[in-house]
Amino acid sequence: MAKKKLDFESSMARLEEIVGLLERGDAPLEEAMKLFEEGAKLLRECTAQLDAAEQKVTLLTQGQDGQITEEPFQGAE
């Protein structure tokens, strides 16, 4: 049975949990290796999701002439 793909926030939460477990250093080697492999997979998935979001934002910020305009982010104040 295949595992359900986590959303970005859940993936990041699990990745943080894995890092904490590995930093404690009390997991047996075999378990630590499994955690590391899971973390590496989650990192690749999160990076791919961020890249896709960046591409989508780029498409949304292109002008009608196809030129991308860069403007500073104006966050909520």
Domains of the chain: 8-61 (1.10.287)
Q: Output the pTM of the full model.
A: 0.70
- Report the distance separating Cα 59 and Cα 61, nearest Å: 5
Residue where the block lists tokens 């196809």: 66
10 vs 19: CA distance, rounded Å: 14
Residue 62: pLDDT band with limits 50, 70, 90: low
Lowest mean pLDDT among 13-17, 52-56, 66-70, 73-77: 73-77
Q: How far is CA 34 from the centre of its chain?
A: 19
